[in-house]
Amino acid sequence: MAGTLYVVATPLGNLDDLSPRAAATLRQVAAVVAEDTRHTKPLLAHAGARGELVSFHAHSSAAALRRILHLLGTGKDVALVTDAGTPAVSDPGAELVAAARARDVNVVTVPGPTAVAAALSVSGLAADRYLFLGFLPRKGGERRRLLDFVAQSEWTVVLFEAPPRVAALLEDLAAACGGERRAAVARELTKVFEETRAGTLEELAGYYAAAPPRGEVTVLVAGAGRPPPRRRAPARCSRRA
């Protein structure tokens, strides 16, 4: 009987955000699959997990994937984690999940922190409907197509970007959407230097060109024609004389 693949969400940066269930899962599995094993070792030590630590990232060979599938196929339970947040979302772990499902391996979620929801919740932008596009291509026609798509979207759009490229992304977004489009940049969420800065795309592009950000960054762009959410006025109650 095949083992179970547990997709385990881990803290964005604050180890206290590791859930009891996630910690228990990491302790009980035979192996933990991680994008960056050096980054994951302190987390496993914090959880008291002693299973085998296996590397799997965007540049891993087919042999690495086969090895993990072999563990599952021989009845071993395996946990999949990413460097921060929920695995398989704009993350190489998606390939492992798809391969496991193709082989009828039981895949179970152990939910928890996610940068997308965390950034939306503090952005001040509408979050009733949103689109997540992950990392845009660095250049070329596909990047331009997606920038135009963001410009036309009526919903808030959530993007990931590497710190050195944040200013360039904001400049491209301002050119596509107009510099007055509302946006927010959330970085280092849950960490000591957590910061969420809101403003227009033009303002944010200028700020981060002068002060390049550090740490993990999430960029959010308001939908076309969507004002920020407003507090609803309480309904009036009429009294009868």
pLDDT of 229 over the 70 cut: no
- How much of the chain, in percent, has pLDDT values that exceed 70? 93
pTM: 0.88
In the prediction, which pLDDT does 233 show?
52
> Predicted confidence band at 1 (pLDDT cuts at 50, 70, 90)?
confident
Q: pLDDT by residue (tens digit) across 112-149?
A: 999 999 999 999 999 999 999 999 999 999 999 999 99
In the prediction, which pLDDT does 226 show?
58
The domain limits of the chain are: 4-110, 115-221
Please, what is the average pLDDT of the chain?
94
- 3-state SS track over the chain: CCCEEEEECECCCCHHHCCHHHHHHHHHCCEEEECCHHHHHHHHHHHCCCCEEEECCCCCCHHHHHHHHHHHHCCCCEEECCCCECCCCCCCHHHHHHHHHHCCCEEEEECCCCHHHHHHHHHCCCCCCEEEEEECCCCCHHHHHHHHHHHHCCCEEEEEECHHHHHHHHHHHHHHHCCCCEEEEEECCCCCCCEEEEEEHHHHHHHHHHCCCCCCEEEEECCCCCCCCCCCCCCCCCCCC
pLDDT of 191 over the 50 cut: yes
Per-residue pLDDT, averaged over 165-193, amounts to 98
Q: Give domain 4-110's CATH superfamily.
A: Tetrapyrrole methylase, N-terminal domain (3.40.1010.10)
pLDDT of 238 over the 50 cut: no
CATH topology for the 115-221 domain: 3.30.950
- How much of the chain, in percent, has pLDDT values that exceed 90? 92
